[in-house]
Amino acid sequence: MLDHATLWATLDKLADKHQLTPSGLARRAGLDPTSFNVSKRFAADGRPRWPSTESLSKVLDVTQMSFVDFALLLQGENETSSIHFRSFPAYLCTSDELKEVNLENISDLKLDNFCDSFIFPSPQSDKFFAVEVSSNSFEPYYSEGQILIVSPESSLRRNDHVLILTKSGELHCGPLQRQTNERIEFRRHIPDETPRVVAVADMVWSARISWVSQ
């Protein structure tokens, strides 16, 4: 039987697996950073508060975890059916170096002298590369020194954090608001901010950010 304490403990465990705090997990899912705080788990009168199905759906989406795998975590199982936490080799470059690399087919990156190993959750079939943030150009989403695991073959969905290179050599990073055949629009960081828009015709490539070091 699913109980209040077990569900919250499982969310804490999922956050820990991704090297996040509960607040960090909520932020990654596009929720209010305080959504999963311990203080929010009970109402003022002592009644238990449960995370909404929408919140759970967003968390499973950004962590690339199926509901079956989440259910296994609820039952105390550490191994999941398709997502594996282990060391993976990945092509590594800095965000500044990435601007200079000709990536007409980004999925053809070879594991050579630039290869390093990272521990993160991923289906074994995924292709990915690693980007070390080497400036403040990705703020407020990512800070200098963080490692981004980027999946060039994953389809982009609303609220995904994405990385886009344009023909002018600009790297755009942030959460996806909407995508059409003609343009990609990033979600506003603050309500009054003018949304960033990239024309599809100006794109060299786009990729989904699957995991971030803390």
Whether residue 12 has pLDDT greater than 70: yes
- pLDDT tens per residue across span 170-202: 888 889 989 999 999 998 877 777 888 999 999
CATH number at residue 175: 2.10.109.10
Last residue of a domain, one of 15, 39, 74: 74
Least confident of 37-41, 117-121, 128-132, 171-175: 117-121
Cβ proximity of 138 and 131 under 8 Å: no
Number of domains present in the structure of the chain: 2
153 and 125 in one domain?
yes
- Residue 48: the pLDDT is 92
159 and 188 in one domain?
yes
205 and 164 in one domain?
yes
Cβ proximity of 185 and 197 under 8 Å: yes
Pairing of the two strands 183-186 and 197-199: antiparallel
Order of strands, edge to edge, in the sheet holding 183-186?
115-122, 84-94, 129-132, 147-151, 203-212, 161-166, 171-179, 183-186, 197-199
Task: Convert 21-32 to b/e letters by CB count within 10 Å (16 or more is b).
Answer: ebbbbbbbbbbe
- Residue 16: the pLDDT is 86
| Confidence band, pLDDT 50/70/90 cuts, at residue 119 | low
pTM of the model: 0.54
Q: Which residue range(s) make up the domain with 179? A: 84-212
140 and 34 in one domain?
no
Whether residue 23 has pLDDT greater than 50: yes
197 and 91 in one domain?
yes
Angle at 113 between CA 108 and CA 115, to 5 degrees: 65
Last residue of a domain, one of 18, 51, 74: 74
Least confident of 86-95, 115-124, 157-166: 115-124
- Residue 205: the pLDDT is 83
Last residue of a domain, one of 74, 100, 129: 74
66 and 107 in one domain?
no
107 and 67 in one domain?
no
| Confidence band, pLDDT 50/70/90 cuts, at residue 214 | low
- Residue 135: the pLDDT is 79
55 and 104 in one domain?
no
- pLDDT tens per residue across span 199-212: 999 988 888 887 78
When pLDDT is averaged across residues 138-162 and rounded to a whole number, the result is 83
70 and 52 in one domain?
yes
Whether residue 162 has pLDDT greater than 70: yes
| Confidence band, pLDDT 50/70/90 cuts, at residue 125 | very low
